[in-house]
Structure 1
């Protein structure tokens, strides 16, 4: 691959979220960012234009922080605005003050995260409530629909029909012209269906990095 590749995870996940997909893609070198929900942030981006893969909030973060540096973009359960009723997100934010572990575990279950990727107690103990709350604020406040609409470089968008976090209607509204809908996998489909995702992503990356 002749161009830098960047991965950005979603809310309440970390770089390890990408391990199944990166194995399927045969990725050996990449900038795998860390939004800091379970430890120090790592937001180092390449100094040159890059191809990015963003999951959910990670896609929104990329649109917010690096739209002009994106040579191509892969959206996995992403959106330009988290256009769902705000009540559940606000309730999660309130729940963080009572302890993040329960909120995170319930969210991961709603995402259909595979059991083998469930966070253990030591990892949950490292959760950073303030950073998690900030991430929920980003979901509530950021609106990058105009940025996404104006994006004129190669774009691949995948979503899952059984996603309980980002409903299919939101995915279709976000990507009206080029959305591929997987039958299943939940919101964590990049981790639960990595081989299926790789079937779409691998040829796209080959074309984007020529």
Structure 2
């Protein structure tokens, strides 16, 4: 049986290179990437035309859930969530004013905003890119305020694997994808599990792909 392709989606403040520690352990697979274009690269979000497993990190999971995943045979979430900002129905989210302050600061000092956020996520010292696309970074934060993929998650009827970090500092990620049929694992770690646990993440992806 032909192996499914792998499609990787990164979160806010990162790019497709975020997945390289995992990808280097998956040489036998055909890997495809979403690129948000936060740091000068051209945005790209074309989904594969053949059956694939979608693998997302953080906001990348929410973005995936809002897309047409008809050819997707399974979703693996690392530190993911279906909604990020708080409202009456989701009080555990991050308040919009926090993200709005980040948006204001991005237009003045993007290096400081990205550095602070990556440190919060557990990257210390943060490896900052050479170029910043402030417009796309700000749009990404607005997306975190506005987007809600909980209905899409509720209707999900395919394989769903939910990996959360025991010490993830972002509460929406710590709660993960709240779905009754998800296969959930709690790993000892923070918000960057695909990087801090890259070998384990690759092994999980390989095992799932080989079982499908």
Shorter-chain TM-score tier: 0.7 to 0.9
Please say if residues 67 and 147 of structure 1, whose CA atoms lie closer than 8 Å, have aligned partners that are also in contact.
no
1:21 alignment partner in structure 2: 22
CA distance in 1, matches of 2:188, 2:156: 27
Please say if residues 166 and 186 of structure 2, whose CA atoms lie closer than 8 Å, have aligned partners that are also in contact.
yes
CA distance in 1, matches of 2:146, 2:185: 27
The 1:181/1:203 distance shift into structure 2, 3 A limit, reads same
Q: Is the helix fraction higher in 1 or 2?
A: 1
Cα distance, 1:2 vs. partner?
2.1
Please say if residues 6 and 33 of structure 1, whose CA atoms lie closer than 8 Å, have aligned partners that are also in contact.
yes
The 1:195/1:150 distance shift into structure 2, 3 A limit, reads same
**How many pairs does the alignment contain?**
201
Q: After superposition, where does 1:29-178 map in structure 2 within 5 Å?
A: 29-39=30-40, 40-83=42-85, 84-86=93-95, 87-113=97-123, 115=125, 118-120=126-128, 123-124=129-130, 126-167=131-172, 170-171=175-176, 174-176=178-180, 177-178=182-183
Cα distance, 1:33 vs. partner?
1.6
CA distance in 1, matches of 2:173, 2:76: 17
Cα distance, 1:114 vs. partner?
5.8
Q: Structure 1 stretches of 5 or more lacking a match?
A: none
Cα distance, 1:47 vs. partner?
1.9
Q: Aligned with 1:157: secondary structure?
A: strand
What TM-score do you get using the length of structure 2 for normalisation? 0.86
CA distance in 1, matches of 2:155, 2:29: 31
Please say if residues 3 and 209 of structure 2, whose CA atoms lie closer than 8 Å, have aligned partners that are also in contact.
no
Q: Deviations over 1:69-107 (max 9, x none)?
A: 321111111111115132322221121111211100111
Q: Structure 2 stretches of 5 or more lacking a match?
A: 86-92
CA distance in 1, matches of 2:55, 2:104: 30
Please say if residues 58 and 173 of structure 2, whose CA atoms lie closer than 8 Å, have aligned partners that are also in contact.
no
Question: Does the alignment pair 1:193 with 2:197?
Answer: yes
The 1:36/1:76 distance shift into structure 2, 3 A limit, reads same
Please say if residues 6 and 29 of structure 2, whose CA atoms lie closer than 8 Å, have aligned partners that are also in contact.
no
Cα distance, 1:12 vs. partner?
0.6
